[in-house]
Structure 1
Amino acid sequence: MTPGPTSGPRAPGRPAPAERASAAFERLHGTAPAGVWSAPGRVNLIGEHTDYNDGFVLPFALPHRTAVAAAARDDGVLRVATLGDDGSAQRAEPVAVADLAPGLVDGWAAYPAGVAWALREQGLTGGSDLVIAGDVPAGAGLSSSHALECAVALALLGLAGRPADDLQQVARWVQRAENDFAGAPTGLLDQTASLCCTEAHVLFLDVRSFTTEQVPFDAAAQGLEVLVVDTRSSHSHTDGGYGARRSGCEEAAGLLGLPALRDLPVAELDGALGRLPGHLRPLVRHVVTENERVLAAVELLRADRLAELGPLLDASHASLRDDYRVSAPELDAAVDAAVDAGALGARMVGGGFGGSAIALVPVERHDGVVAAVLDAFARKGWTTPRTFTAVPSAGAGRDA
């Protein structure tokens, strides 16, 4: 499932999602909303499938956001509408907050309903009207579902007069909505990135301890950019492939007597692999080496050596492709074309099985890299991918 309101980056001159959501709320309900909250999508610079293994991740927030215009209701009913690209509103079936249960709501509406369900356990039992608008590309591995859920969580907390002071706790509530209501077994990377990232920084997160460090990231100052290639190929965390890999990691950790794969030192990797069934070895190898790549990337950024990230990105993609087996032909083609055209490094991002890739590109090679990627897809007869430059942006918050 992917949420309905988010389809593609905002065209020049198009109102921001917060403005669109507020105007649509007034049009649909005849009154201004009590407030508007929004949350961004994210790109994970490196550190894929490490979050649910208690590992390390290094995301940053995108400028693309999902906004929720909201007002409280006194009848305990949740009413949700989402805006399409043409401005038309799609309304979900109203549902009493008291009746919410996993399986009751499906499709895009499961995401806001799931957040209301998770927050009901925190004493938020009131109803609300929500109108959603966004420009995070849906199904692209850029965390459109979590942008929606985080914005809804802040909106419902705001309507209830509950300050969202502990963003890590909010992230856990959103994870519960995603895992137990929407049925996607994701970790804590996406929610935390959407809520906690800051402008001009990447977020170095130790998922186990929840310690964070805002690491400066200014690619433009070094003549570089992070190019995102949305392959527009299928991507869903509710399918079985993601969950199978997560359960495989948990099984491997159990066989090794470890709380999580994060606890396996890279120096002991080879010996540990020899004690595991063959089908689990590639999963373990990816997680352990990916954690090392995150730590190496952080050291490079702290030393302002951003241009040296390329080999780490390449190694991450190879590991995700060959060991974790979550890449796709479109992702491999985008990565290969970008590197062949002069990118310093490239890799798939997100859960995999489609979605997006990123490339670290010298600014002067931007046009050539984009042309090479588009040509590679055209020669295969695939849907033309979307490309844009990603700049680390602000996390979730109240807009109005």
Structure 2
Amino acid sequence: MEQNSLQARMLTPAFENTLTRLYGPEGLADAKNRCAAVTAAFEKTFESRPEALFSAPGRTELGGNHTDHQHGRVLAAAVDLDILAAAAPNQSGMIRFQSQGYPLMVVDLRELSPKKEEENTSAALIRGVAARMSALGCPLQNAGLDACLVSTVPGGSGLSSSAAFEVLVGTMLNEFFWNGARTPVELAQIGQYAENVFFGKPCGLMDQTASSVGGVVAIDFADTAHPVVEQLSLDLHANGHALCILDSGAGHADLTAEYASITDELGAVCRQFGREVLRQMPEEEFLAALPRVRAAAGDRAVLRAFHVYAENRRARQEAQALRQGDFAAFLELVRASGRSSALYLQNVVPTGKTANQELMVTIALCERILGGRGAVRVHGGGFGGTAQAFVPLDLLEEFKTRTEAVLGTGSCHVVSVRPVGGTRLA
């Protein structure tokens, strides 16, 4: 075995230390097995050896529900579920991705314009990331990339597998062809561009930033071209809690109109003042014009604006609570965020639904089991998808058992905060 080969580097103590940092001591054995499996898959698929391993994590939103697209504040964290890839450059002019369980995907680097038929596909994200990096100066003209991927980020889980995928693609291209020239925040912006322009989803920048930067991050999007990102410390275990993401059983693939209604209605509020987003408008100005705004934009739009203004304050206060080590204050703010999302933002139950309210039932069930301890709130976009719960460690086993008895086996994901974002492992 060559001394400098990937296989040789995977046997070193340094590589084991890297895996331990990302997945924890309890996840080390599984991480080693995944690395070996994805390396073997690469060799079988491409009949050559990979040059490196890469990883990009899923993310969880801790605070700031639907504030990022209003240039607001958020609190987010990378988690220990990720997309892992074995990769090597080639000179074919093609990016070839083999994701476990899916057909081989091929993207021609000579064709870097959006394709209508690729919208809402992974190929669109690959093409979009490559197009943006090429436009910024990354020399991809004679490049190419082969990669095999495995993922522990459940699709549709609210942990943002799409952002992890974008960050993974950007990290690989940045390392192989650009000497690591772009920062994690810049790679996040590249991923957002791919999702907005090529994939066709008008997302904010929170998901990509959390996945790319890693750890717990407080982000201020007042200037979206230069967001202010601060990494914070949060040891959930030391605070006696675990973080759970609960699958409500309601997907969100058909809820694009519901998500769009939030930005559309907030836009209607802003247009009354000649502004584009709420962050550009003082809350006092909004409050002083409430009668006119209600008549023009409607009451739900007004309530959603109330949520965003208050949620920006909460996100700032949550970050401050973590800086001060006041976990009890942080949990109370999480509870307040959940109440605001349900009452004012109204992103828990899809419009007009009565018989099926899976996410609200999930939240009610969690609150009943927690009995006033911990915290639970809607997670991410809402309407379907997931809830997030901070669960006392002494209650964790019972919580998982009781929620899965209602929601189904495997519906309660216990996750840990990962200190590292998109990265080259070896």
Task: Answer yes or no: same fold by TM over 0.5.
Answer: yes
Query: What is the CA–CA distance in structure 2 between the aligned matches of 1:187 and 1:335, rounded to whole Å?
Result: 25
Once residues 243 and 16 of structure 1 are traced to their aligned partners in structure 2, the CA distance between those partners, rounded to angstroms, is: 41
Aligned counterparts of 2:377 and 2:410: Cα–Cα separation in 1: 15
Name the structure 2 match of 1:100. Answer: 112
> Counterparts of 1:318-329 in structure 2 under 5 Å?
318-328=339-349, 329=357
Answer whether contact 1:225 1:362 (CA < 8 A) is retained: yes
**Which residue does 2:369 correspond to in 1?**
341
Is the CA contact (8 Å cut-off) linking 1:312 and 1:345 kept in structure 2? no
Match of 2:48, SS state, is coil
Judge conservation of contact 1:140–1:235 (CA < 8 Å) in 2.
Answer: no
* 1:399 aligns to 2:425 (yes or no): yes
* 1:315-350 Cα distance to aligned partner (Å, 9 max, x none): 222322232232242222222211211242111111
Which amino acid in structure 1 is aligned with residue 414 of structure 2? T
- Give the Cα–Cα distance (whole angstroms) in 2 for the partners of residues 362 and 374 of structure 1: 17
CA distance in 1 between counterparts of 2:52 and 2:29 reads 25
Q: 1:387 deviation in Å?
A: 1.4
Query: Could you say what the CA RMSD is over the residues aligned between the two structures, in angstroms?
Result: 2.4
- Corresponding residue of 1:306: 327
Please state if 1:38 is matched with 2:63: no
Question: Higher mean Cα deviation, 101-110 or 52-61?
Answer: 101-110
* Contact 1:256/1:272, CA 8 A, preserved across alignment: no
- Aligned partners of 1:182, 1:34: CA distance in 2, in Å? 29
Conservation of the 8 A alpha-carbon contact between 1:232 and 1:385: no
Alignment-derived partner of residue 5 in structure 1: none
CA contact (8 A) 1:164 1:170 kept: no
Shift of 1:355: 1.7
Per mean C-alpha deviation after superposition, the further-off stretch among 126-135 and 115-124 is 115-124
Aligned to 2:311: 290
Residue 380 (structure 1) aligns with? none
2:403–2:412 contact (8 Å) kept in structure 1: no
1:141 aligned residue (152, 158, 170): 158
Alignment-derived partner of residue 103 in structure 2? 90
> Which AA in structure 2 matches 1:121?
A
CA offsets 1:256-296 (integer angstroms, 9 cap, x no match): 24452124445555334333121421221121111111122
TM-score by length of 1: 0.87
Q: Which among 366, 373, 382 is matched to residue 403 of structure 2? A: 373
Runs of 4+ with deviation above 6 angstroms: none
- Aligned match for 1:355, one of 385, 389, 399: 385
Q: Name the structure with the higher helix share.
A: 2
Whether the 8 Å contact between 2:57 and 2:81 is mirrored in structure 1 is yes
CA offsets 1:150-191 (integer angstroms, 9 cap, x no match): 001111122213314422221111111001101111000011
Please show how residues 137-216 of structure 1 align to structure 2 within 5 Å: 137-198=154-215, 202-209=216-223, 210-216=227-233
Which residue in 2 is equivalent to 1:122?
A: 136
TM-score by length of 2: 0.82
Which residue number in structure 1 is paired with residue 22 of structure 2? none
Amino acid paired to 2:219: L
Residues 1:112 and 2:116 are matched in the alignment: no
DSSP 3-state at the match of 2:401: helix
Rounded Cα–Cα distance in structure 1 between residues aligned with 2:348 and 2:33: 32
* Alignment coverage as a number of residue pairs: 378
Q: Which amino acid aligns with 1:359?
A: A
Identity of aligned residues (%): 30
Superimposed CA distance per residue, residues 16-48 of structure 1 (whole angstroms, 9 cap, x where no aligned partner): 654443221111111112322211001111111
- For 2:122 and 2:28, the matched residues in 1 are separated by 23
How far apart are the structure 2 equivalents of 1:119 and 1:332?
41
8 A contact 2:244–2:389 mirrored in 1: yes
CA drift at 1:95: 3.4
Paired amino acid for 1:398: R
Q: 1:181 to 1:288 in 2, by over 3 A?
A: same
Moved more, 23-32 or 117-126: 117-126
- 1:96 is aligned with what amino acid? D
Larger radius of gyration: 2
Q: Secondary structure at the match of 2:95?
A: strand
Moved more, 262-271 or 47-56: 262-271
Measure the CA separation in 1 of the matches of 2:38 and 2:258.
Answer: 34
Q: Shift of residue 357 of structure 1?
A: 1.2
Give the SS at the match of 1:359: strand
Once structures 1 and 2 are overlaid, which stretch shifts more, 35-44 or 337-346?
337-346
Provide closer, same or farther for how the CA distance between residues 265 and 339 of structure 1 changes in structure 2, counting only shifts above 3 A: farther
Aligned in 2, Cα 1:18/1:275: closer, same or farther, shift over 3 Å?
farther
Gaps of 5+ in 2: 1-26, 350-356
CA distance in 2, matches of 1:238, 1:16: 37
Unaligned runs of 5+ in 1: 1-9, 378-382
What amino acid sits opposite 2:340 in the alignment? S
**Do structure 1's residue 48 and structure 2's residue 60 form an aligned pair?**
no
Amino acid at match of 1:208: A
